Structure 1
């Protein structure tokens, strides 16, 4: 029964973390589009971005933690042949953690007024977690290799 609870909690926290990974770059799109001199809108969006980043960081920790418990304690993807899917998933998760940290760096750039990227760039940046999700879910469900 413990395995199923850990698995359920892992899924819940992953979904919650992804919600932040999807939405924070959308806030960056809006920040990149703020007209010069519109300080009230800029500050409102920065406040939203800061709060969301803190919240999604809190959600990332148990998502990764429960995933590690599934992998190292319950042996999911650890034993037997055909566990290449787990290596690919772990690489993508590390990439998502990197994306998460990259978002913090971008947020700091917006805070100190040094962002030079356009809203179009952020629209493409916003697709990174979507692509990762479309790869990770089939890896976990289908286990193709």
Structure 2
């Protein structure tokens, strides 16, 4: 029963994390397109609150809950290739998350750091990771 609660909270944390992962680069698009200092300051505040208040705690909860499930069932999971692939993708997503954090800080001083087109394409990376992770978890192809 405890495992099912861990899984339920893991899914909730992951959904919150992905909501932030999808929204922050969208804010970068608007930040890059803004021309006035007031708008740029507003986007910087929104980005900071999203990153620190939602994305970081959600990422930490996702990792802790996921690793808890693995530890509880290590004998089952240690030979599951799909889980190793999923963890690799989550590591990549974590690196993407950290890149977003660095970009967020750099955008404060340089709102034109990248074009809005760049940010639109940058925002597609986590979509690919999400698709792969869901397929791995549901289908368990190996």
Q: Same fold (TM over 0.5)?
A: yes
Q: Which aligned pairs between 1:109-128 and structure 2 lie closer than 5 A?
A: 109-113=106-110, 115-128=112-125
Please report the TM-score for the alignment, with normalisation by the length of structure 2: 0.94
Structure number with the higher helix fraction is 2
Q: Which aligned pairs between 1:1-145 and structure 2 lie closer than 5 A?
A: 1-35=1-35, 38-54=36-52, 55-75=54-74, 78-80=77-79, 83-113=80-110, 115-145=112-142
Please report the TM-score for the alignment, with normalisation by the length of structure 1: 0.92
Give yes or no for contact 1:70–1:76 (8 Å, CA) kept in 2: no
CA positional deviation for 1:84: 1.2
Separation in structure 2 between the aligned mates of residue 46 and residue 135 of structure 1, nearest angstrom: 31
Q: Deviations over 1:76-106 (max 9, x none)?
A: 86244xx111111011000010001000110
Structure 2 unaligned regions, length at least 5: none
Give yes or no for contact 2:32–2:111 (8 Å, CA) kept in 1: no
Cα distance change, pair 76–17 in 1 and its aligned pair in 2 (3 A): farther
RMSD over aligned CA atoms reads 1.4
CA positional deviation for 1:75: 2.8
The count of residues paired between Structure 1 and Structure 2 equals: 141
CA positional deviation for 1:117: 1.1
Would you identify which runs of 4 or more consecutive aligned residues in structure 1 move more than 6 Å? none
